[in-house]
């Protein structure tokens, strides 16, 4: 297992906040905005100052084995805090995916024991309970955000694999709910299942086909 060097660029944002006397700086990221099924998941990670941090990176740049290895290593860092929250498809349909993503991030933060500053991947998130800094492509600029991206990705992928056993035939274990060709073909053949997001167009069009589609039958 490799670890980040003390002068790593991935620690620059955390160091800046530690220098401003923030003691517990959390990185926040999410996964699952785009899929047609399953929850959106957010994670938050706080590394203690001086911790021996695994060589994390943006989860999208890692393969599955690397993510699992880093996931376990992050959880084993001495003094680390981490939390994961999910917002399910019912709530996504109720409040829309952007609001559901923001909610998942807030819920993850609220699960942490000690935090006084937030580094958030992407654009500003309203309603966060602490001072925050939004960082575009933060999972490649902050160790805390990168770690959060890994925890969220591993958690959601594992969840979708378990859903694949409950709802067979859709290929959730492969595409994790994203709108791949195989997933769309399964939707047309099998219809929707409980975890599909009914407000998303490909799913909505299965439930209520557009008029031009009805004319074909």
| Average pLDDT score over residue span 138-167 | 98
Domain 9-165 CATH class label:
alpha beta
pLDDT at 216 over 50: no
Residue 214 has a pLDDT of: 47
| Average pLDDT score over residue span 207-216 | 65
Number of Cβ atoms within 10 Å of the Cβ of 81: 17
Rounded to whole angstroms, the Cα distance separating 142 from 132 reads 14
Q: What is the pLDDT of residues 46-91, one digit of tens each?
A: 999 999 999 999 898 999 999 999 999 999 999 999 999 999 999 9
List the 25-31 sheet strands across, edge first: 81-87, 40-46, 25-31, 117-121, 132-135
Rounded to whole angstroms, the Cα distance separating 187 from 108 reads 32
Half-sphere CA count of 140, side-chain side, radius 13 A = 5
Residue 217 has a pLDDT of: 42
Two tokens at 209?
Answer: 């086909």
Residue 174 in contact with residue 167, Cβ under 8 Å? no
Is residue 21 packed enough to be buried (19+ CB in 10 Å), middle (13-18) or exposed (0-12)? exposed
Residue % of the chain over a pLDDT of 70: 97
Q: Domain map of the chain by residue range?
A: 9-165
Q: What is the pLDDT of residues 88-123, one digit of tens each?
A: 999 999 999 999 999 999 999 999 999 999 999 999
């Amino acid at each position: 297992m490799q670890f980040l060097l003390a002068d790593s660029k991935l620690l620059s944002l955390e160091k800046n906040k530690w220098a401003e006397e923030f003691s517990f700086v959390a990185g926040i990221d999410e996964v699952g905005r785009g899929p047609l099924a399953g929850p959106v998941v957010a994670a938050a990670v706080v590394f203690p100052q001086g911790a021996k941090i695994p060589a994390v990176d943006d989860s999208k740049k890692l393969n599955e084995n690397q993510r699992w290895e880093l996931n376990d290593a992050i959880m084993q860092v001495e003094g680390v805090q981490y939390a994961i929250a999910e917002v399910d498809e019912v709530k996504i349909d109720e409040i829309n995916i952007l609001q559901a993503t923001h909610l998942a991030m807030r819920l993850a933060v609220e699960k942490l024991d000690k935090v006084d500053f937030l580094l958030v991947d992407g654009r500003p998130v309203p309603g966060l309970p602490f001072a925050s800094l939004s960082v575009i492509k933060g999972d490649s600029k902050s160790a805390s955000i990168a770690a959060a991206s890994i925890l969220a990705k591993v958690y959601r992928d594992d969840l979708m694999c378990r859903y694949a056993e409950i709802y067979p035939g859709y290929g959730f274990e492969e595409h994790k709910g994203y709108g791949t060709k195989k997933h769309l073909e399964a939707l047309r053949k099998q219809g929707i299942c409980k975890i599909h997001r009914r407000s998303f167009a490909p799913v909505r069009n299965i439930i209520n086909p557009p008029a031009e589609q009805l004319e074909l039958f």
